[in-house]
Amino acid sequence: MTELQKQLAEQFLHLLEEEKLDWKKEWSGIPGRPYNPVSETVYRGNNYFSLFLTSVAKGYQDPRWCTFAQIKENGWGLKAGKGQSAKIEFWYPYDRKQKKSISWLEFWEAGGQINDRYQLYSRMYAVYNGDMIVGIPKLELAQNEIQPVELVDTISQNIGVPISYHQTDRAFYRPTEDRVYLPYRQQFDSEYAYASTALHELSHATGAEHRLNRKQEGKFGTEPYSYEELVAEISSCFLSSELPIVQTEEHLQNHKAYVQNWIQGIKEQPEALFHAVKEAEQATVYLEYHGGLMTKEEYQIYQKESEFSKIQDEILQELPSTKTKKSLSKYVWKIYLIHPSAI
């Protein structure tokens, strides 16, 4: 695990222990995915998670984040206050012969091996939220015209998962039937409450073997079952940046039973949290694409980025076990010659 991942695991454990599931209400109040308005970078994965945790802790409502250098270059300023930044991390391959950083594609085409010529470099950046930046243009939010019920119906149809309604208060996805079961719509307090529950269950459906192929083993109360619930919970949070999803009190109460399992599991295997974040993001993007919130081109770009991210993770996991048995820090050099558009 990297230093940033260790910090994120500690922060998330604190949220679970102190806030239980109320952190989801805070997440739903953040309008849009975190992004950098200068470089136009949309943050994903662990960086998204890091910015979310900081937003919840500090009460930020602006999805924009900038480095101090970008703030200075644009003639903006920072409000007074300590500890207001969040940390994000980027990894890059470095060609020691050419003395420059290279893309992951170039690294992979060169064999994708760590050796005397090719090394991996990491840089951690401090970024500041738009709420704390003086002089930044007013945030303009696009009018959200997404109809929640229509979105659920579109996703259900496009991924081939029918929804059946029944006169109970239970909502679940049944893998053996590849079908979602929900209470009747009139039993929900609002369309958004209905959409929140439906999208959570459709997130489970993305794990089917013929879709994203997640392991969905285990019965209620087991660790695998709780892990899958964590994936679906984080996925529904990611979706809330696209849709004003509300978390009903019933939904929160129903899932508080998993919190203790999550706390214990993350303490024992903190790496599982970041695996869940990655799988939750994949589920979210899958649903966004099949719900018409993402173009085919955008989805293909994401899939390609995911492939390189997977390769990157495999390489990073192998670093400590290389034959030299050197520590990870020997391979991770801090470099400051990264193109600013990468941040």
Q: What is the pLDDT of residues 128-137, one digit of tens each?
A: 999 999 999 9
Distances (CA, A) of 171 to 134, 165, 190, 191: 46, 9, 16, 15
The pLDDT score that the predictor gives to residue 78 is 94
At which residue do the structure tokens 């992004």 appear? Answer: 35
Under-50 pLDDT residues of the chain: 23, 25-27, 321-343
Helix or strand holding residue 86 (H, E): strand 85-95
Can you give the pLDDT at residue 337? 32
Which tens digit of pLDDT belongs to each residue from 117-128? 998 887 888 999
State the pLDDT at residue 321: 45
Q: Please tell me the distance from the alpha carbon of residue 302 to that of residue 306, in angstroms, as a whole number.
A: 6
Express each pLDDT in 58-95 by its tens digit.
888 899 999 999 999 999 999 987 668 898 988 788 89
Domain ranges across the chain: 31-142+321-342, 148-292
Check residue 259 and give its pLDDT: 65
Cα–Cα distances (Å) from 87 to 4, 90, 265, 276, 299, in that order, read 7, 10, 24, 20, 27
Per-residue pLDDT at 250 = 58
**What pLDDT sits at residue 190?**
79
Task: Give the separation between CA 272 and CA 262, rounded to whole angstroms.
Answer: 10
